């Protein structure tokens, strides 16, 4: 982005207003497109995380209420779900997994 802004300033300095305007409009369009993709990714991740957390919660409640037995398999599945949710949040925020 900085390089693009420098090119725009150089064009303005050379009085290439049409070129500067075109480059600025292209940069704005690219940023808007990136923001739309980010918003879509955020929405999808919120949906996916919500579903995964609902499954984990229902599984825990079923075990606590005695509807199903507590087993290593069920606990491992809940751990896997929570790990998946954590990874999705890190991907979404652009942070590396710790």
Span 29-40, pLDDT tens digits:
999 999 999 899
For CA atoms 65, 71, 72, 77, give the dihedral sign: negative
Confidence (pTM): 0.64
> Which pLDDT score, from 0 to 100, does residue 95 have?
55
> Which pLDDT score, from 0 to 100, does residue 97 have?
43
Q: What is the pLDDT along the chain (98 residues), one digit of tens a residue?
A: 899 999 999 999 999 999 999 999 999 999 999 999 989 988 988 999 999 999 999 999 999 999 999 999 999 999 999 999 999 888 888 754 44
């Amino acid at each position: 982005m900085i390089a693009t802004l420098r090119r725009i300033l150089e064009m303005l300095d050379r009085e290439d207003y049409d070129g500067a305007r075109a480059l600025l409009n292209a940069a704005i369009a690219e940023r808007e497109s990136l923001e739309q993709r980010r918003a879509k990714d955020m929405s999808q991740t919120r949906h996916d995380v919500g579903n995964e957390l609902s499954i984990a919660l229902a599984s825990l409640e079923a075990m606590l209420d005695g509807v199903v037995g507590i087993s290593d398999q069920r606990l491992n599945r809940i751990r896997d779900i929570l790990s998946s949710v954590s990874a999705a949040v890190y991907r979404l925020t652009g942070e590396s997994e710790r």
